[in-house]
A and B are shown apart, each in its own frame.
Chain A
């Protein structure tokens, strides 16, 4: 095939994602209220998480249950980059994005242009978060992917908890303080009454009492501010750059990359590990290296998703714990292990269904759990099995199934 056709074919899914992102951002989002817009973004972020985990649990057949850890690493790193850079560069935590990005409440949307300096900061921070997660993925994956099955599950579980506990132990974020608390005895300049400052507690050895002092953000260096990500209080200080545009764009890129991988030689090596690890080794596949690759790629996209999450909702140690990891595993299993479109559909269901059931109050989690159990009994291979929604074989199977139902109405539902 000529090169330009190959390039066009490779670029097409990304262009489609871009168009879809623009369409949803400027078209559909107009008709949604804030709550629904938030749901759309949650769905997109969960699709990224589910599709990235599909590359590990679905493609290579490993069982990782610490995926939220990567969400955490990416989210906190990306959040810290935007937060500390905004404070150092601008001295505040307002957004400075374009009409494509999310905006602070006190920025007038009418004043926005097609490009904002903040967009660059935002995308750079997302990439930083993704790369940090990928790096951690490499460090965690290299020793643990030599192990098989259950051991990997235990290691990834431990990893997720370590991330959560480490974040819980971080310091409070900078907050607006009165000028005379930060600079006692120094007269305030004209027009400045409050400054951003970080709080330091120091134990006085003489009295045994703790003393609180404040350091103005302008006096602190970048590396003093960045690690102050809020601890157990959560990290809500990150400017809200995330918008439907960015979420849909990155979710589209995640799906496009995952499906390119699935159909490549690279991806067949992943799938062969899941099918039969020994046969795969006998074919000449370096299985450990491939498992690590899958793990690193998955961590990168989970990190990106984390970055989007951090610039959208408040990051919180509880958000990245075991429960969140398990939600992602449920999406992957529900969609069908190895199915990208299946995981995406499952991510939509898993995000929206509990919201729709909110009216049922305390019964909602019971119904949710029941639905999952029934699903696993009647369709253990997941919604789509290993197939994709764009596979012809899936639809042929469905047509055959419907025809058989018609010709023998008493045949029952055995699929």
Chain B
């Protein structure tokens, strides 16, 4: 479904990504794990067109999207829930959600999808008229995910959904990620919380200082000594 080939990204003289290649098949949850500054967010932002790569290509459903503008990529069914949640703080929850469906015009279907998204995140229903900036961290994360879902993506890019959240909320969020996937949405999940990410994902890539160092089945990676030592705090 998505194939990233030999991606290189530079911020001025600093090279953030070297030769990153990864693949996401239809129906999968693929996670990209790695520590701070490894280039996870850069990878996601390059895929969604927010950053221009220096080299390499991104192919989505057989179409080269490397040079497309972000809004064109969203129209193809690739939605992102940005890092730091990126909700619009001075807008209500309701308005945030309608911006999620921004590229669509099928009002009846949008209304249905909105209902569905609210049933996944019942907390948001209670807060529809509240300004998004006044929500708690977990609620903002839920809003960001619900908003991305309203774009009716075929491929959902999630950037650090667990960032800064209480463990219990993290559990809820990951359960919902699994539910969304079970309904047929393919997910590329970027996470620092390797433990949780490897639990829900089918396959995983490990990113270290801008390079993919390990890849494979999520369960196998979770069991491997290198990953356990580096990311799972295991011995």
User: Which residues of the other chain, A, contact B86 by a CB distance below 8 angstroms?
Assistant: 276, 278-279, 282
Q: Is the CB of B69 within 8 A of A286?
A: yes
| Among listed B14-22, B70-78, B163-171, B211-219, interface-contacting one | B70-78
User: Closest B-chain residue to A289, C-beta based?
Assistant: B71
How many A-B contacts at CB < 8 Å in the complex?
71
User: Which residues of the other chain, A, contact B69 by a CB distance below 8 angstroms?
Assistant: 286
A37 within 8 A of B: no
Q: Mark A394-410, 1 if CB is under 8 A from B, else 0.
A: 00000000000000000
Interface residues on B, range: 20 to 34
B203 within 8 A of A: no
User: Which residues of the other chain, B, contact A285 by a CB distance below 8 angstroms?
Assistant: 71, 99, 102
User: Closest A-chain residue to B88, C-beta based?
Assistant: A275
Q: Is the CB of B88 within 8 A of A282?
A: no
Smallest Cβ distance from A49 to chain B, in angstroms? 24
Q: Mark A247-278, 1 if CB is under 8 A from B, else 0.
A: 00000000000000000010011011011101
B98 within 8 A of A: yes
User: A144 CA to B81 CA in the complex, in Å?
Assistant: 28
User: Which residues of the other chain, B, contact A269 by a CB distance below 8 angstroms?
Assistant: 99, 102
User: A136 CA to B93 CA in the complex, in Å?
Assistant: 37
A283 within 8 A of B: yes
Q: Is the CB of A284 within 8 A of B71?
A: yes
- Known interface pairs A271-B90, A275-B88, A275-B89; A284-B98 also in contact (CB < 8 Å): no
- Known interface pairs A278-B50, A284-B103; A265-B74 also in contact (CB < 8 Å): no
A224 within 8 A of B: no
- Known interface pairs A281-B50, A284-B75, A284-B103; A272-B91 also in contact (CB < 8 Å): yes
- Known interface pairs A281-B70, A283-B147; A268-B98 also in contact (CB < 8 Å): yes
Q: Is the CB of B48 within 8 A of A283?
A: no
User: Which residues of the other chain, A, contact B208 by a CB distance below 8 angstroms?
Assistant: none
A386 within 8 A of B: yes
Smallest Cβ distance from A381 to chain B, in angstroms? 10
User: A272 CA to B95 CA in the complex, in Å?
Assistant: 10
Q: Is the CB of B100 within 8 A of A271?
A: no
Q: Which of A272, A274, A284, A386 contacts B151 (CB 8 A)?
A: A284
Q: Mark A109-136, 1 if CB is under 8 A from B, else 0.
A: 0000000000000000000000000000
Smallest Cβ distance from A291 to chain B, in angstroms? 13
User: Closest B-chain residue to A271, C-beta based?
Assistant: B91
User: A278 CA to B103 CA in the complex, in Å?
Assistant: 16
Q: Is the CB of B91 within 8 A of A268?
A: yes
Q: Is the CB of A271 within 8 A of B82?
A: no
Extra A-B contacts (15), CB below 8 Å, given A271-B91, A283-B99: A269-B99, A269-B102, A272-B88, A275-B88, A275-B89, A275-B90, A278-B82, A282-B80, A282-B82, A283-B74, A283-B102, A283-B147, A284-B79, A284-B102, A286-B71
The 5 closest A-B pairs by CB, nearest first: A284-B74, A279-B86, A275-B88, A284-B103, A281-B70
Residues of chain A having any CB pair with chain B under 8 Å? 265, 268-269, 271-272, 274-276, 278-287, 338, 386
Please name 21 pairs of A and B residues whose Cβ atoms are closer than 8 Å in the assembled complex, sorted by A: A268-B99, A269-B102, A272-B88, A276-B88, A276-B89, A278-B86, A279-B87, A282-B74, A282-B79, A282-B80, A283-B74, A283-B99, A283-B100, A283-B102, A283-B147, A284-B71, A284-B75, A284-B102, A284-B103, A286-B69, A287-B71
